A and B are shown apart, each in its own frame.
With several copies, the nearest count.
Chain A
């Protein structure tokens, strides 16, 4: 955990309302793991007051990349950053996706901007592991392929990939690949993750999910980001997560 001012190296639009922000972050590079996130101060005043959490989307040389969608005031400010601007980042925070060589096939499911953490996760997958990316969007305009390969799409309006949601896509895909030893990593809106939980529980498939929550601190001091686990205790998404085994939590 470090707090530092870093410089914007690029900030590109890669799809509708979706941007890729690159910052120089040399000192962080040895420590960052896929699934972790940073809590970012998008301004140097009190408006907005709080930091904004963003997953590590990729690492390139001495740089960290964040993929983000413009949804409100904070991300709007971020989208206006230009090369050379400073932002203050706090991280890396949270745990990580647990990658191991045992799975035959890894499936990455991203709902909308939930795709963000996967470019870096893909880079860290052992070469031996096969993977596919299931990318669910509302409409074609949200599609990009930054850092992704083997992508299958689903869209709400049918403009790209199958018309339907990522769980339907997953169901089809699982039949197609006919692998036994599958592991899923997923990130996206809660309704999707809830449906995924039911699906993977029924089929008994290994699955890890990255969860979201409103956060004040991002590192365990505010208790603002609880998630209930299967024992009816609260875990902190920022510290005990954001990645959880889908069996362990109540979504």
Chain B
């Protein structure tokens, strides 16, 4: 049985619902040794800022129970190098490119989108308003409904490409952010970014991560991510990209049933760089075995 795996995120048509999450595959160079990037739905680039960012000093990561904390600090090559070197590479591979942008001011978001909008290879923007690991440009926006409204509105003014607002789970009202994003013209929201967490060494009494706190990702957060997707899906009529702890095709299908139109693979890439290809096989088989001819038919089929 042939299965139609394509899904739509607003006007963005994806071959299949599998995206590689921002910050977990760089700009595709290394992961392309394991994954045929032309075969999966798309790649979301590491958050790009106007100028290159060095990122946080080490130690940047630490393992936790079924999870990991990271405080990379949005280390990235900056807009210029991204355009010159990274975009052509991804274009050659034939992958669908979603560009994730992080900034320390509303103006910087706007300027980035303005410049990048010309790049044909970029098929959509994911606006990161939810990075917990930098003072400016992250959670400071993600936990402020008005800031998210403003950013969405301004960015919308600069591009007609699909805009995805990446939401923070570190608040009690993710629905308000999704609503405002929709209202200000976003095409979709992605949920979730990492949860704020920390870990200390009981002998040195120092935080294991130099930045003190980091963002928690991995299977540990899957129940929280699913609950956030469910919450948004119940209250707001906007496509949702589900993220958080997806390790295999079953997790992915769970997100779609709960309400996600597509999903992103993050931490799993570190442990099994082929995870996205295996998930592609897995969801295809799931559809075949359950005689689902279009995967988009399972979106939001939850029974509650």
Contacts and interface: CB of A to CB of B under 8 A. Distances in A.
A214 B62 contact: yes
Nearest to A74: B63
B247 to A, nearest CB: 7
A1 B33 CA distance: 8
Contacts of A46: 65-66, 218-219, 247
B66 A49 contact: yes
A234 to B, nearest CB: 6
Contact of A3 (B58, B60, B65, B274): B274
Interface string A191-216: 00000000000000000000001111
Main secondary structure, interface of B, reads loop
Given A46-B66, A223-B60, A234-B55, A51 B271 contact: yes
A227 B57 CA distance: 8
A221 B25 contact: yes
| Interface of A: prevailing SS | loop
Nearest to B67: A49
A178 interface: no
Interface in A207-251: 213-228, 233-234, 239
Interface stretch (B68-76, B252-260, B289-297): B68-76
A103 B59 CA distance: 35
Interface in B26-81: 26, 29-31, 33-34, 46, 54-55, 57-63, 65-68, 70, 72, 75
Contacts of A84: none
B30 A221 contact: yes
A70 interface: no
Contacts of A227: 58
Interface string A32-76: 000000000100001111110000000000000000000000000
Contacts of A218: 270
A221 B26 contact: yes
B170 interface: no
Given A3-B272, A48-B63, A217-B270, A224 B30 contact: no
A133 interface: no
B10 interface: no
A219 B274 CA distance: 13
A229 to B, nearest CB: 11
Contacts of B58: 213-214, 225-227
Contacts of B121: none
A177 to B, nearest CB: 36
A214 B60 CA distance: 8
A218 B63 CA distance: 14
Given A217-B270, A221-B25, A222-B270, A233 B72 contact: no
B65 A47 contact: yes
Given A233-B54, A234-B54, A50 B72 contact: no
B75 A47 contact: no
Contact of B30 (A3, A47, A51, A220): A220
Most buried by A among B26, B58, B269, B270: B270
A224 B271 CA distance: 13
B75 A223 contact: yes
Given A221-B24, A234-B75, A226 B273 contact: no
Contacts of A8: none
A139 B273 CA distance: 40
Nearest to A47: B66
Nearest to A41: B271
A89 interface: no
Interface string B259-271: 0000000010111
B219 A216 contact: no
A228 B30 CA distance: 21
A216 B61 contact: yes
A27 B269 CA distance: 23
A222 to B, nearest CB: 5
A218 B54 CA distance: 19
B72 A223 contact: yes
Contacts of A239: 30
A48 B71 CA distance: 20
A222 B63 contact: no
A214 B61 contact: yes
A221 B32 CA distance: 11
Nearest to A218: B270
Contacts of A216: 61, 68, 70, 267, 270
13 contacts: A3-B34, A49-B67, A51-B270, A214-B58, A214-B59, A217-B269, A219-B273, A221-B25, A222-B270, A223-B23, A225-B58, A227-B58, A233-B54
Given A214-B63, A222-B70, A223-B55, 14 more contacts: A1-B33, A3-B272, A3-B274, A50-B68, A51-B271, A213-B58, A214-B61, A214-B62, A217-B273, A219-B30, A220-B26, A221-B31, A222-B23, A226-B75
Interface of B: 23-26, 29-31, 33-34, 46, 54-55, 57-63, 65-68, 70, 72, 75, 218-219, 247, 267, 269-274
